[in-house]
């Protein structure tokens, strides 16, 4: 099969397009023909490398995968050859207490496709049977590949960690990103009033079409001041934070009393400062969040099937152009998701 593989960390030229042996499923695994794979910031970290973290190189990136079942192991009976599927991006042991209580993303052996084992930048992939879910029939393969990681992340942050309630105000940073565009939709489904930031008028317009009630151009406006104006000086009940250093201080200032800041990333840097007096005087909470359970993803796919969510696909490119897809994501030229076709 053809695949894009990272053998050593580096720039765009670290993405090598090569011929590789086809993977073979074991008894409890499924061989899937990849029809589409989403491009994520995690793929950039896999390519570049992360100080203090070891990736199991050589590694095929890609964690948001949609495709068709080619072959199933003898202990697999919930899918069959020819089924159209979407893959849960998280892999866990399946037998520990967190896994058996529906918190598989808290498993101490938890990993992500394309990060701890080979992912979907390839024509075929083998995954555990637990990762194979039915693709919503109303989604194309390209659309389905824009869903699993970003919507699962946004859902878990807002619904499970921040416990969003109807009528609360949610500040979503980088509403034009994959996880940001998902967060807008999740917050609206749960009755939130959404304030979305973005870097251009075009992105703000698209964020509004997704459901954002208010938009802020963070390059031209002071987002803290605008949030206070919109909320009558109260601040946002929830801040959806994944940008990191460049927005962190402002995010805390924009947070209401008893507000919750929930974060899943630090794309502009992780070195931030906190004035603890503001946190305890205002009874605020800072919540960390990574991924979500497979059960949550199944619930999310049901909302797609019902038409309550829509995938946000911007660029669709051949797998051979993976380097260009990375470049566009790094330059923040993509609204929502870029998708590669093997």
Tell me the pLDDT tens digit for each residue of 129-180.
Answer: 999 999 999 999 999 999 999 999 999 999 999 999 999 999 999 999 999 9
Give the span between the Cα atoms of 161 and 260, in whole angstroms. 9
Question: CA angle, corner 69, sides to 156 and 134, nearest 5?
Answer: 35
Measured on CA atoms in the order 261, 233, 226, 277, is the torsion positive or negative?
negative
Structure tokens at 208: 């509004």
299: nearest Cα among 160, 168, 178, 188: 160
Question: What pLDDT sits at residue 57?
Answer: 97
Give the span between the Cα atoms of 43 and 61, in whole angstroms. 6
CA atoms within 13 A on the CB side of 262: 25
Per-residue pLDDT, averaged over 42-66, amounts to: 96
CA atoms within 13 A on the CB side of 155: 20
Per-residue pLDDT, averaged over 252-262, amounts to: 97
Measured on CA atoms in the order 145, 68, 318, 10, is the torsion positive or negative?
positive
Residue 102 backbone zone (phi > 0: left; psi -120 to 50: alpha; other: beta): left
Question: What pLDDT sits at residue 2?
Answer: 97
Question: What pLDDT sits at residue 246?
Answer: 93
For 86-104, how does the pLDDT look when each residue is reduced to its tens digit (9 = 90+)? 999 999 999 999 999 999 9
Question: What pLDDT sits at residue 207?
Answer: 97
Per-residue pLDDT, averaged over 269-282, amounts to: 93
Give the span between the Cα atoms of 297 and 198, in whole angstroms. 26
Q: Delimit the domains of the chain by residue range.
A: 2-147+311-341, 151-288
Give the span between the Cα atoms of 307 and 137, in whole angstroms. 11
Per-residue pLDDT, averaged over 63-76, amounts to: 98
**Residue 268 CB partners (closer than 8 Å, separation 6+):** 243, 244, 245, 246, 247
pTM of the predicted model, to two decimals?
Answer: 0.96
Tokens 């929830």, residue?
A: 238
Reported as a pLDDT band with limits 50, 70 and 90, residue 186 is very high
For the chain, the average pLDDT equals 97
Domain 2-147+311-341 has CATH 3.40.1350.10: no
Per-residue pLDDT, averaged over 280-299, amounts to: 97
Question: What pLDDT sits at residue 310?
Answer: 96
Question: What pLDDT sits at residue 339?
Answer: 98
Distances from the Cα of 299 to the Cα of 65, 101, 159, 165, 280, angstroms:
17, 16, 12, 18, 35
- Would you tell me which CATH number, out of the four given (3.10.350.10, 3.40.190.120, 3.40.50.720, 3.40.190.80), belongs to the domain 151-288? 3.40.50.720
337: nearest Cα among 310, 309, 304, 314: 314
Per-residue pLDDT, averaged over 63-81, amounts to: 97
Q: Which of 62-66, 216-220, 323-327 has the lowest mean pLDDT?
A: 216-220
């Amino acid at each position: 099969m053809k695949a894009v593989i990272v053998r050593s960390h580096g720039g765009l030229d670290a993405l090598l397009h090569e011929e590789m042996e086809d993977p073979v499923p074991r008894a409890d695994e499924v061989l899937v023909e990849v029809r589409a794979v989403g491009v994520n910031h995690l793929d950039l970290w896999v390519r570049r490398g992360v100080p203090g973290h070891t990736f199991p190189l050589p590694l095929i990136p890609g964690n948001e995968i949609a495709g068709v079942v080619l072959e199933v192991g003898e202990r697999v009976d919930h899918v069959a050859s020819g089924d159209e599927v979407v893959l849960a991006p998280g892999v866990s042991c399946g037998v520990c207490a967190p896994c058996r209580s529906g918190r598989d993303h808290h498993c101490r052996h938890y990993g992500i496709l394309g990060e701890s084992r080979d992912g979907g930048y390839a024509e075929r992939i083998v995954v555990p049977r637990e990762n194979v879910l039915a693709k919503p029939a109303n989604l194309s393969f390209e659309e389905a590949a824009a869903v699993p990681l970003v919507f699962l992340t946004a859902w878990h942050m807002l619904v499970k960690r921040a416990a969003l309630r109807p009528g609360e105000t949610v500040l979503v940073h980088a509403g034009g990103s994959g996880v940001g565009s998902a967060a807008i939709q999740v917050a609206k489904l749960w009755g939130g009033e959404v304030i979305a930031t973005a870097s251009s008028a075009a992105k703000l317009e698209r964020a509004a079409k997704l459901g954002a009630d208010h938009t802020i151009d963070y390059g031209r406006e002071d987002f803290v001041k605008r949030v206070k104006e919109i909320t009558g000086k109260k601040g946002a009940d929830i801040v959806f934070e994944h940008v990191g250093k460049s927005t962190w201080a402002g995010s805390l200032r924009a947070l209401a009393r008893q507000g919750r800041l929930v974060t899943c990333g630090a794309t502009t840097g992780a070195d931030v400062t906190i004035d603890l007096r503001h946190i305890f005087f205002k009874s605020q909470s800072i919540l960390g969040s990574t991924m979500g359970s497979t059960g949550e993803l199944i619930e999310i796919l049901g909302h797609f099937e019902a038409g309550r969510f829509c995938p946000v696909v911007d660029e669709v490119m051949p797998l051979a152009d993976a380097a260009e897809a990375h470049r566009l994501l790094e330059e923040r030229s993509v609204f929502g998701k870029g998708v590669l076709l093997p």
